[in-house]
């Protein structure tokens, strides 16, 4: 694997390749962005490129030399992954890094540390890392990876070169699924729309049979009646109790009502995310006004925002169900 195998982060890759070509590698980087977007993968490829033994590959890794193979198989003596033990990255992990940094690398040009979920450092660990960043060593590189940079000390962020990873366009995610995973177009479009701009999320959704879950949810939606409170409660309870589960259900509802609005306005099935449910979408579009559809989208989005505040999940979903137009 090399930079060329990473999909959708061309600008970030170009910056890193330029850094390598000019031999201006920094001592500390912060890769931040939504989960499963490829931050850790790119960090690993950057480290491979830094230490690649083939001199002609000055701005990328060859993937074949001893160094590249060892890093890829997590067996390189100078490349370390620091992760949380339980809920936190503890001071002992950072102290171990401090010990290693004082010695010369055994094989690599630069000893490398990837701190995954760096926001999980406890206060002691964060302060110990800050001291390391204040006294950098030219033969070491630290890459912090996080989905929540706002939980890091501002003094840590200021001492790193910060690269922000934005969510990918759903079209890019869909193209990846079609070209690299040989997925059929309709399924790829659906998974891409629900992925939040993350290829990793899209692949995880595929493992979780999200299409079957979507079909069950829309089937239940078709039988829900605003005049029947029990059917509304049943619909709300189907969305589950776990945040991840609920978020997936709300994303599906959002994509469905988006399709209903699109079909009402232009009546083109090829523009729909859920094309295999076009007849159901057309039925909803026929009986709801544009304003009612927009109200539904707003209610779904509002429920998602409220749930992020750790409120009563069942009550929030039931309130949404009672306010939707059917």
pLDDT digits (tens, 9 = 90+) for 73-111: 999 999 999 999 889 999 999 999 999 998 899 999 999
**Is the Cβ–Cβ distance between 278 and 269 less than 8 Å?**
yes
CA distance 2 to 45: 6
Instruction: Dump pLDDT digits (tens) for 185-218.
Output: 989 998 998 888 999 989 988 988 888 999 999 9
CA distance 59 to 65: 15
Instruction: Please report where in the chains the tokens 């660990």 appear, as a residue.
Output: 125
Instruction: Dump pLDDT digits (tens) for 228-278.
Output: 999 999 999 999 878 888 999 999 999 999 999 999 999 988 889 998 899
Domains of the chain: residue spans and CATH: 3-165 (3.40.50.300), 209-323 (1.20.272)
Query: For residue 56, what pLDDT band results from cuts at 50, 70 and 90?
Result: low
State the burial class of residue 180 (Cβ atoms within 10 Å of its Cβ: 0-12, 13-18, 19+). exposed
CA distance 65 to 50: 13
CA distance 259 to 269: 9
Q: How many CB atoms lie within 10 A of CB 6?
A: 16
pLDDT of residue 58: 66
Pairing of strands 140-146, 79-82: unpaired
Single pTM value for the model:
0.78
- The three-class DSSP label of residue 114 is strand
pLDDT at 299 > cutoff 70: yes
CA distance 89 to 67: 27
**Mean pLDDT confidence for 41-67:** 87
Q: How many CB atoms lie within 10 A of CB 79?
A: 24
Query: For residue 57, what pLDDT band results from cuts at 50, 70 and 90?
Result: low
Question: Taking the chain, what is the end-to-end CA distance rounded to the nearest angstrom?
Answer: 49
pLDDT of residue 5: 85
């Amino acid at each position: 694997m090399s930079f060329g195998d990473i999909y959708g982060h061309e600008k970030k890759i170009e910056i890193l390749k330029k850094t390598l070509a000019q031999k201006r590698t920094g001592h500390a980087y912060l890769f931040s962005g939504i989960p499963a977007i490829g931050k850790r993968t790119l960090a690993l490829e950057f480290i491979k490129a830094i230490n690649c033994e083939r001199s002609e590959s000055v701005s990328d890794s060859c993937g074949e030399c001893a160094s590249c193979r060892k890093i890829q198989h997590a067996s390189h003596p100078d490349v370390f992954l620091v992760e949380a033990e339980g809920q936190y990255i503890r001071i002992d992990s950072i102290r171990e890094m401090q010990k290693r940094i004082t010695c010369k690398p055994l094989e690599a040009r630069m000893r490398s540390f990837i701190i995954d979920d760096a926001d999980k450092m406890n206060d002691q660990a964060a302060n110990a890392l800050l001291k390391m960043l204040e006294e950098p060593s030219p033969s070491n590189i630290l890459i912090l990876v996080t989905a929540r940079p706002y939980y890091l000390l501002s003094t840590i962020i200021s001492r790193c070169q910060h690269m922000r990873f934005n969510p990918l366009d759903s079209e890019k995610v869909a193209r990846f699924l079609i070209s690299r995973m040989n997925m059929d177009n309709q399924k790829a479009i659906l998974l891409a729309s629900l992925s939040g701009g993350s290829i990793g999320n899209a692949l995880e959704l595929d493992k979780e049979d999200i299409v079957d879950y979507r079909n069950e949810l829309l089937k239940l939606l078709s039988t829900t009646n605003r005049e029947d409170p029990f059917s509304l409660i049943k619909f709300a309870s189907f969305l589950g109790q776990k945040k991840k589960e609920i978020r997936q259900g709300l994303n599906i509802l959002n994509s469905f009502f988006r399709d209903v609005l699109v079909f009402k306005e232009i009546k083109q099935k090829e523009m729909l995310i859920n094309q295999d449910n076009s007849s159901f979408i057309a039925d909803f579009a026929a009986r709801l006004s544009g304003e009612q559809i927009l109200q539904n989208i707003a209610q779904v989005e509002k429920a998602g925002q409220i749930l992020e505040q750790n409120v009563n999940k069942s009550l929030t979903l039931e309130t949404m169900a009672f306010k939707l137009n059917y």
